[in-house]
Structure 1
Amino acid sequence: MTSREKEILEIIKSNPMISQNELADSLGITRSSVAVHITNLLKKGYILGKGYIVKEESYVCILGGTNMDIQGFPKSNLILKDSNPGEVKVSLGGVGRNIGENLTKLGINTNLITVIGDDVYGNKILEESRKLGMNMEHSLILQGYPTSTYLSILDDKGDMQVAISHMDIYDKLTVDFIKSKKHVIDNSKLCILDTNIPKEVIEYTVNNHKDTVFFLDTVSTTKAKKIKDLVHYFHTIKPNKYEAEMLSGIEINSEKDFKKAAEFFINKGVKQVFISLGEKGLFYANEDISSFINNPSVKVVNATGAGDAFVAGLAYSYYNEFDIETTAKTAMTAAILALSHENTINPNMSVNNINNKMEELGLC
């Protein structure tokens, strides 16, 4: 493919309905030259027929949050209302972005649709995503707005104790912008949504892409309230116990309650339910089976990225058509790998390491 053909193909990807005259104007060349390049792209198989339907590899689309994470780690017991000796680390974060990085490390082509500022943090996110191989070309970049920032304080066990989120930029991710990304969502193998994005965007997306398989990351009890009336649109959901209680209206205190809550979601139309129990393990269910998996005893270094790795494991499993039991074990093992490293994203996340860890823990 020539450099001009690549240029034309990228424009067509972002606007499949663009005319040849519009292409010519934007590139400063003649319409006849555009026609020649289009013909060559058709012959080479990069464009499929009329309407500029672009042939792309199968991929997962993520519509969610991206931010910079600033984490504080005390050297000993955390003392509130006092200055604690420790370490401070700055890293790329955000639920959607973290899921995307984990998925990319698992060999899945990933398109992340998010919003960032045209600032130092935003440029860093774009640079690192390019190095990683995660596609962010469909994300919104805004001048004059700071990239979302998440500040958290962890205790000596690696559990988050308090955090401050500066995520006002997400309000600028509008329905009109998402409309322009219809082809990205429609052509995905599955689309993961996290509840950091505005409710109206979530509502528009699930209502206007009926043939798309949607996965949900609830993020938090407060943010999950956005989708309480939309849960039936999701193929797979991953709430924790408290989020499941809020979404279902069912208080969960026993095994029977877990099954009752799962039945509520399945009767709504959800195909797979995974309820995280933290260190106690996982409950999972579909219309045919339900079961618990106890969490193996592992040392927790940093619990921040476990949920994101878990959702990446769910998406990887769906992508590879695993049954629900294998899916649950794969996702749990991905979360365990995340727990075992000081970084939010374990740099050693890979399919081979998941398989090796599953065998080590007796989950195979």
Structure 2
Amino acid sequence: MTGREKEILEHLKKDPMMPQSDLADLLGITRSSVAVHIANLMKKGHILGKGYIVREDAYVCVIGGSNVDIQGFPTTELIYRDSNVGKVKVSMGGVGRNIAENLVRMGVHTKLISAIGDDLYGDKILEEAKSVGLDMVDTLVVQGGETSTYLSILDDSKDMILAISHMDIMEHLTIEFIKRKHHIIENAALCILDTNLPLETIEYILTTFKDKQFFLDTVSSTKAQKVASLIGYFNTIKPNRIEAEMLTGVPIKSETDATIAADRFHEKGVVNVFISMGEKGIYASGPEGGQFIKAPKIEIVNATGAGDAFIAALAKASLMELTQLETAKMAIAASGIALSHENTINPQMSEGLLFKKMEVL
């Protein structure tokens, strides 16, 4: 936003119905110049339209993958290299999309920048977003493209054993496309990226919007590797133990190892680090120091969406300016809510349920 645009915006906040001629007189510029500046403010999303209604609501911008999840659940113990009796479930997924939907269910205005095809799956993703209130206006719909598909097999304990990800369409999220979404990123309260994005696109975003708080979902150890050299640009990261080992070079076998790994992240410039230690809980490290928070034992119904809910809660906690301990508890609570439902995203996820679960941690 230019200095002149800021001046105009401040006047319109005080008087949304102020005529352009009055603005021109106040600023000592022509009416036509005021019209140009207002048009730019509208393009950038600061002004909503007639009456110069100023946008005040904070939003989170999520940039990442959207796909259709196809999950196979065996009825009994999984038998390898054989046909297993069980159930197959189709649902909307994708790390970025899942994070965004969780945020919406937590009461956070969220915009998702992703890529989908103009096919049946893409239409379904847009319909689902509309039904829950997720803003996908800025998502790229690729003509003739195939919407990403994620095929996974879970074992009898509902943990993911293997998966195949077909996400070629994400290559369409180029630097040129992101440039057209400059105002969306610039005006967000914070941004969340997942590593399904092309590396050059991630690098462009991080190096262009240097004053923006970026949260990283590493997605997997393989995909996390490509952002190893950029890790210091992120304000907050949420790796699991294996991903943390890969990004820091520190083998994590104990709680002490986790503290060393977190320190390595801080040395690179990361402000907040939340390392998932599985059943042992979370190691949270930031300006308030480091601490382990144990996760409560719960019956796992589906383990695939816990990480997405976790980072969504980190973002919500940041918007609420919660303490480090409160933030970790909110994230653990969100993860637990996700684990307790057969869907990747628990439809009962809400701000009220989050705080209720936090009370017993």
TM-score interval for Structure 1 and Structure 2 normalised by the shorter chain = 0.7 to 0.9
Q: Secondary structure of the equivalent of 1:311?
A: helix
- Hey, what does 1:290 align to over in structure 2? 290
The 2-side partners of 1:346 and 1:55 are apart by 30
The 2-side partners of 1:209 and 1:53 are apart by 26
CA shift, 1:126, in A, is 0.6
- Hey, what does 2:179 align to over in structure 1? 179
- Hey, what does 2:354 align to over in structure 1? 354
Matches within 5 A, 1:208-219: 208-219=208-219
- Hey, what does 1:207 align to over in structure 2? 207
The 2-side partners of 1:48 and 1:72 are apart by 45
What residue identity is the alignment partner of 1:66? Answer: S
Question: Do residues 338 (structure 1) and 333 (structure 2) align?
Answer: no
Q: Map Cα deviations across residues 169-216 of structure 1 (whole Å, 9 max, x no partner).
A: 111110100011010001000000000111000000000001111000
What residue identity is the alignment partner of 2:211? Answer: D
- Hey, what does 1:272 align to over in structure 2? 272
CA shift, 1:280, in A, is 2.1
- Hey, what does 1:109 align to over in structure 2? 109
The 2-side partners of 1:242 and 1:53 are apart by 48
The 2-side partners of 1:225 and 1:135 are apart by 30
TM-score of the pair, normalised by structure 1:
0.85
The 2-side partners of 1:247 and 1:112 are apart by 27
- Hey, what does 2:61 align to over in structure 1? 61
Question: Do residues 301 (structure 1) and 301 (structure 2) align?
Answer: yes
The 2-side partners of 1:210 and 1:56 are apart by 22
Contact 1:118 1:145 in 2 (8 A): yes
Structure 1 pair 46–276 and aligned structure 2 pair: CA distance change class (3 A): closer
Contact 1:273 1:286 in 2 (8 A): yes
- Hey, what does 2:141 align to over in structure 1? 141
The 2-side partners of 1:189 and 1:256 are apart by 34
- Hey, what does 1:72 align to over in structure 2? 72
CA shift, 1:48, in A, is 8.6
What residue identity is the alignment partner of 2:277? Answer: L
What residue identity is the alignment partner of 1:333? Answer: A
Contact 1:266 1:287 in 2 (8 A): no
What residue identity is the alignment partner of 1:341? Answer: H
- Hey, what does 2:190 align to over in structure 1? 190
- Hey, what does 1:241 align to over in structure 2? 241
TM-score of the pair, normalised by structure 2:
0.85
CA shift, 1:284, in A, is 0.7
Structure 1 pair 137–74 and aligned structure 2 pair: CA distance change class (3 A): same
CA shift, 1:79, in A, is 0.7
Contact 1:306 1:335 in 2 (8 A): yes
What residue identity is the alignment partner of 1:241? Answer: R
Contact 2:288 2:324 in 1 (8 A): no
Cα RMSD between the aligned structures?
2.1
- Aligned residues: percent identity? 58
Structure 1 gap segments, 5+ residues each = 1-31
What residue identity is the alignment partner of 2:168? Answer: D
Contact 1:151 1:165 in 2 (8 A): yes
Question: Do residues 229 (structure 1) and 229 (structure 2) align?
Answer: yes
Contact 2:115 2:142 in 1 (8 A): yes
Stretch of structure 1 that moved more, 292-301 or 59-68: 292-301
CA shift, 1:322, in A, is 0.4
Contact 1:337 1:349 in 2 (8 A): yes
CA shift, 1:358, in A, is 2.4
Contact 2:159 2:304 in 1 (8 A): yes
The 2-side partners of 1:200 and 1:101 are apart by 26
The 2-side partners of 1:169 and 1:107 are apart by 29
Runs of 4+ in 1 over 2 A off after TM superposition: 45-49, 52-56
CA shift, 1:347, in A, is 0.5
The 2-side partners of 1:350 and 1:278 are apart by 24
Q: Map Cα deviations across residues 276-330 of structure 1 (whole Å, 9 max, x no partner).
A: 1122211110133111112211100000000000001100100110011100000
Matches within 5 A, 1:12-27: none
Q: Secondary structure of the equivalent of 1:239?
A: coil
Q: Secondary structure of the equivalent of 2:229?
A: coil
The 1-side partners of 2:69 and 2:48 are apart by 41
Q: Secondary structure of the equivalent of 1:68?
A: strand
Contact 1:195 1:224 in 2 (8 A): yes
Stretch of structure 1 that moved more, 63-72 or 348-357: 348-357
Q: Secondary structure of the equivalent of 1:47?
A: coil
CA shift, 1:259, in A, is 1.1
Question: Do residues 165 (structure 1) and 173 (structure 2) align?
Answer: no
- Hey, what does 1:313 align to over in structure 2? 313
CA shift, 1:55, in A, is 2.7
- Hey, what does 1:257 align to over in structure 2? 257
- Hey, what does 1:150 align to over in structure 2? 150
CA shift, 1:54, in A, is 6.2
The 2-side partners of 1:199 and 1:302 are apart by 30
Q: Secondary structure of the equivalent of 1:82?
A: coil
Contact 2:74 2:87 in 1 (8 A): yes
Q: Map Cα deviations across residues 321-344 of structure 1 (whole Å, 9 max, x no partner).
A: 001110000001100000000000
Q: Map Cα deviations across residues 244-295 of structure 1 (whole Å, 9 max, x no partner).
A: 1111111112222111111111122111000011222111101331111122
Contact 2:232 2:269 in 1 (8 A): yes
Structure 1 pair 46–293 and aligned structure 2 pair: CA distance change class (3 A): closer
Contact 1:240 1:275 in 2 (8 A): yes
